[in-house]
């Protein structure tokens, strides 16, 4: 295509033809969109100057349109927006999925948090109830399906009185549509009508009916046209399972596009390559110039090979490349041209369009300046500066400082469980965030039962067994443990997939636990389970309360006591206990020696141990605390606790974040709040 350059003056003619053409390679699509928006905005500074973005990449087009709105510039995108991505289209899809999936947490929250959802209330009040329902029920293990499952999960929750009437109202609103989309066979016309009526009811507010909010604007009119077409032709559709209705609705929405009415900016436009053929602009930006985008992929698909397509008289797939090359050549004839691309998309390197590579090769062969060096303005620099701070930050401001909060004494805790003392020792900032700021990590939405739920379940079963048989064991302890396990598994509603893993492990645990019980109870000892205790160490002013819940306390025939802690996870090492890094059992021993546990008389603690109950390759294992007298260890742990309390009773003592070697917390829920990786890597702010 460059034969016309042969002969004298070819270099000059080529240089003249490329005047006003330059190239911009951006790190990613976000930077590309911002730079293009800046160029379009700058074009408006010249009177009567017109500019247009030409690209087949609809994602880039939407990004540029969104960036232009920061200057209140509305630009028309000739390709429009897919109906499924508009608010009304997304709302219809989400409400259908919510009902078809039995109010699964993710689909339920996606529908109820949509801006159109109001349920006949003020949108703000409605969203507040949705957030309360999310915290109370939907985070953590999934509740049972349907409204019955949500209402059952609310029992005993603080928000039950507030949310129960609201959920009952939603149930009545969704009854017809829920029945249709949960049915094994549903008539399509009934499913469509019920779902549309539910969507209208859910979109209503006290001041405006749902139909007015849902079908408003160009997108609403397009959604209403789709609904009308579905209802008009629904009788011809066969019955289908209600669970398949959302997928069918998504499919029927494909191909429907919402185009804005005329009335965007008169001098700016976003065109697809086809629309750009007969259009003209002073500045044309050709965006998304990467292989796979411009030109498109040439894969013939899985059904017809290239020879088969030729046999059927179908055009070769490469024909699309020729058409897109024609579009590129047409747009390349504008007075001023900018060629843009992103070097990476979602972290993956991209390949420049073949047309860019050919232009580069041509310029290199003639020794001309590359296109990327011809720009007069550094648009990438301006794009990065657009959202940069208004002033340069000092070195101290740029470096993250280790947090050192010093709350007043009145805000510092005077009551802690023994399980939080280890957190206090290892990471005081985590205790500050938990007990003073009241921050709690939220469970994931719709998470599968994990190690924490399994540990709670095992503790509950062993507690029930020990409480039922504190003195003499039943004739078959293993069988009784299995019976209690069956009841607990059923009550917990363990999913079948998890039960297949958990139940064989529990059978091994039951076998080991029954054997250990026979051996330990042979001397006539009494066993108490899950005993709560409260203890006030002496010599502290104001008083400090230490509370605990001991998994297992054994009353020995000689009057001594044995304290056992069940561990379904990591067992503390003996050295950690002896050096005070894991003080839970020693502190419980100090409380037991003082008679702090309910219904447990004071006595000398003769044994401390952890029982590892995982049910894996090792059914179970006893880990006694050795190399130290339990009474002496308890006294040492109590003295260390009192010293720690006195140190933090000084209002100048900060709750540092201390990731020290050997003292790292086992679980760190607050490291991101303390910005540990930032300040520890930089070595800044480590005073004290």
pLDDT of residue 140: 85
Can you tell me the distance from the alpha carbon of 84 to that of 250, in angstroms, rounded to the nearest whole number?
A: 7
In 3D space, the residue among 271, 291, 283, 298 whose CA is nearest the CA of residue 60 turns out to be 271
Q: Are 268 and 44 in contact (CB under 8 A)?
A: yes
pLDDT of residue 262: 67
- pLDDT above 50 for 688: no
- Calculate mean pLDDT across residues 458-477: 93
Can you tell me the distance from the alpha carbon of 271 to that of 290, in angstroms, rounded to the nearest whole number?
A: 17
- pLDDT above 70 for 249: yes
- 115-148: per-residue pLDDT in tens? 999 999 999 999 999 999 999 999 988 888 899 9
Task: Measure the CA angle with vertex 446, ends 431 and 241; round to 5°.
Answer: 175
Backbone angles phi, psi at 527, to 5 degrees: -120, 135
- pLDDT above 90 for 388: no
Largest CA distance in the chain: 114
Lowest model confidence (mean pLDDT) among 33-47, 206-220, 406-420, 482-496:
482-496
pLDDT of residue 339: 95
Kind and range of the H or E element at 527?
A: strand 526-535
Cβ contacts of 3 within 8 Å, gap of 6 or more:
none
Top pLDDT among 619 and 10 is at 619
- pLDDT above 50 for 210: yes
Can you tell me the distance from the alpha carbon of 663 to that of 680, in angstroms, rounded to the nearest whole number?
A: 15
Can you tell me the distance from the alpha carbon of 532 to that of 551, in angstroms, rounded to the nearest whole number?
A: 9
Strands 336-342 and 283-286: parallel
- Identify the band that residue 333 occupies on the pLDDT scale cut at 50, 70 and 90: confident
Top pLDDT among 7 and 69 is at 69
Exposure string for 236-256, b = 16+ CB within 10 A, e = fewer: eeeebebbebbebbeeebeeb
Can you tell me the distance from the alpha carbon of 645 to that of 354, in angstroms, rounded to the nearest whole number?
A: 70
In 3D space, the residue among 95, 143, 86, 150 whose CA is nearest the CA of residue 117 turns out to be 95
- Calculate mean pLDDT across residues 637-650: 95
pLDDT of residue 402: 82
Torsion angle, alpha carbons of 92, 94, 98, 100, to 10: 60
Q: Are 533 and 597 in contact (CB under 8 A)?
A: yes
Backbone angles phi, psi at 530, to 5 degrees: 50, 55
Residue positions counted in the chain:
688
Q: Is the sign of the CA dihedral 301, 303, 305, 311 positive or negative?
A: negative
pLDDT of residue 682: 53
């Amino acid at each position: 295509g460059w034969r016309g350059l042969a002969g004298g003056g070819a270099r000059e003619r080529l240089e003249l033809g490329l005047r006003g053409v330059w190239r911009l390679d951006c790190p990613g699509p976000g930077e590309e969109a911002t730079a293009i928006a800046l160029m379009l905005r700058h074009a408006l500074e010249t009177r009567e100057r017109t500019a247009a973005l030409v690209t087949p990449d609809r994602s880039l087009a939407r990004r540029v349109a969104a960036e232009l709105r920061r200057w209140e510039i509305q630009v028309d995108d000739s390709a429009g927006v897919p109906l499924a991505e508009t608010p009304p289209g997304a709302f219809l899809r989400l409400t259908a999925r919510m009902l078809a999936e039995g109010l699964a947490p993710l689909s339920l929250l996606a529908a109820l948090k949509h801006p159109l959802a109001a349920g006949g209330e003020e949108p703000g009040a409605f969203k507040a109830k949705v957030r309360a329902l999310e915290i109370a029920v939907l985070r953590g293990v999934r509740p049972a399906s349907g409204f019955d499952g949500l209402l059952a999960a609310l029992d005993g929750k603080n928000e039950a009185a507030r949310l129960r009437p609201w959920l009952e109202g939603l149930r009545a609103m969704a009854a017809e549509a829920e029945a249709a989309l949960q049915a094994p066979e549903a008539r399509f016309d009934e499913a469509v009508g019920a779902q549309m009526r539910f969507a209208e009811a859910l979109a209503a507010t006290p001041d405006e009916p749902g139909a007015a909010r849902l079908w408003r604007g160009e997108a609403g009119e397009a959604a209403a046209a789709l609904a009308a077409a579905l209802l008009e032709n629904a009788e011809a559709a066969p019955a289908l399972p209600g669970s398949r209705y959302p997928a069918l609705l998504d499919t029927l929405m494909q191909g429907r596009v919402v185009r804005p009415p005329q009335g965007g900016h008169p001098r700016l436009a976003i065109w697809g390559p086809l629309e750009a053929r007969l259009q003209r602009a002073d500045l044309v930006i050709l965006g998304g110039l990467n292989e796979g985008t411009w030109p498109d992929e040439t894969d013939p698909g899985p059904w017809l090979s290239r020879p088969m397509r030729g046999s059927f008289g179908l055009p070769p797939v490469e024909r699309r490349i020729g058409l897109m090359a024609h579009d590129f050549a047409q747009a390349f004839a504008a007075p001023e041209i900018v060629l843009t691309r992103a070097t990476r998309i979602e972290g993956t390197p991209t390949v420049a369009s073949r047309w860019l590579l050919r232009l580069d090769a041509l310029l290199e062969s003639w020794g001309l300046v590359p296109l990327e060096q011809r720009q007069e303005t550094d648009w990438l620099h301006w794009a990065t500066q657009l959202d940069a701070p208004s002033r340069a930050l000092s070195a101290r401001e740029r470096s993250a400082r280790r947090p050192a909060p010093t709350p007043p004494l009145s805000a510092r805790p005077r009551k802690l469980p023994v399980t939080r003392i280890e957190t206090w020792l290892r990471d005081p900032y985590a205790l500050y965030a938990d007990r003073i700021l009241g921050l709690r990590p939220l469970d994931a939405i719709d998470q599968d039962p994990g190690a924490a739920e399994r540990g709670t379940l095992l503790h509950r079963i062993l507690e029930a067994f020990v409480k039922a048989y504190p003195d003499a064991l039943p004739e078959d302890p293993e069988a009784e443990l299995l019976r209690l396990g069956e009841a607990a598994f059923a009550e917990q509603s363990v999913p079948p997939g998890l039960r297949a893993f958990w139940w064989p492990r529990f059978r091994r645990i039951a076998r080991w636990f029954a054997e250990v019980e026979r051996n330990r109870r042979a001397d006539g000892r009494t066993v108490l389970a899950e005993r709560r205790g409260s203890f006030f160490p002496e010599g502290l002013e104001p008083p400090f309360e230490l509370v605990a819940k001991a998994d297992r306390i054994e009353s020995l025939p000689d009057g001594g006591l044995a304290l056992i802690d069940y561990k379904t996870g990591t067992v503390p090492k003996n050295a950690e206990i002896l050096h005070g890094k894991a003080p839970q059992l020693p502190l419980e021993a100090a409380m037991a020696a003082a008679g702090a546990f309910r219904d447990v008389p004071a006595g000398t603690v003769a044994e401390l141990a952890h029982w590892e109950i995982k049910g894996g390759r090792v059914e179970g294992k006893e880990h006694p605390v050795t190399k130290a007298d339990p009474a002496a260890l308890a006294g040492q742990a109590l003295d260390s606790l009192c010293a720690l309390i006195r140190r933090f009773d000084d209002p100048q003592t900060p709750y540092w974040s201390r990731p020290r070697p050997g003292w790292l917390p086992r679980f760190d829920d607050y490291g991101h709040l303390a910005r540990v990786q930032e300040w520890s890597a930089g070595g800044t702010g480590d005073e004290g």
